[in-house]
């Protein structure tokens, strides 16, 4: 559903005669009302129709369902509602530990990632010193993997 368009005729002055008092028999008050009619029709439309549609919370017809949104990298949807739903899905996936393949890259990590060959070399060095790495406590393992 799209927002309702204003279709009220706002050309209230164009139908008036050049001398509406004399030729149309209008009083000064009636002419003032006609001059204000377009602005009042717009105000009524905004207050009674458009704002109600923007504030609507009915599923499928809410303001967010009807408000378009520019593309956001990594987010699908063309309306505010669709994009929020997609972001919520992405957040829920993160919460349950489902991080999409390739989402976290080596560049994003705060330290250099050790290759398997480097890890094997550190383990060999500790084993050469008589340390059983498999039985080492968490501190030693942390130092091995973090390179400290």
- Residue 63 pLDDT grade (very low, low, confident, very high; cuts 50, 70, 90): very high
DSSP characters over 71-138 = -BTTB--SBHHHHHHHHHHHHHHHHTT-PPTTSS-GGGSSSPPPPHHHHHHHHHHHHHTT--GGG--H
pLDDT recorded at residue 132: 62
Report CA Rg, the chain: 34
Q: Which of 77-81, 121-125, 127-131 has the highest mean pLDDT?
A: 77-81
pTM here? Answer: 0.53
CA distance 47 to 26: 29
Residue 4 vs residue 103, higher pLDDT:
4
Residue 93 vs residue 66, higher pLDDT:
66
pLDDT recorded at residue 120: 80
């Amino acid at each position: 559903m799209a927002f309702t368009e204003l279709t009220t005729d706002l050309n209230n002055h164009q139908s008036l005669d050049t001398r509406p008092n004399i030729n149309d028999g209008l009083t000064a008050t009636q002419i003032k009302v006609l001059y204000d009619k377009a602005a009042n029709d717009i105000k009524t439309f905004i207050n009674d129709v458009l704002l109600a549609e923007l504030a609507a919370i009915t599923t499928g017809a809410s303001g967010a369902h009807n408000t378009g949104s520019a593309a956001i990298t990594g987010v699908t949807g063309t309306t505010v509602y669709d994009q929020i739903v997609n972001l919520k899905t992405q957040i829920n996936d993160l919460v349950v530990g489902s991080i999409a393949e390739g989402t976290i890259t080596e560049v994003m990590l705060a330290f250099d990632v050790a290759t398997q060959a480097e890890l094997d070399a550190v383990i060999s060095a500790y084993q050469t010193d008589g340390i059983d790495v498999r039985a080492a406590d968490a501190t030693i393992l942390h130092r091995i993997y973090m390179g400290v």
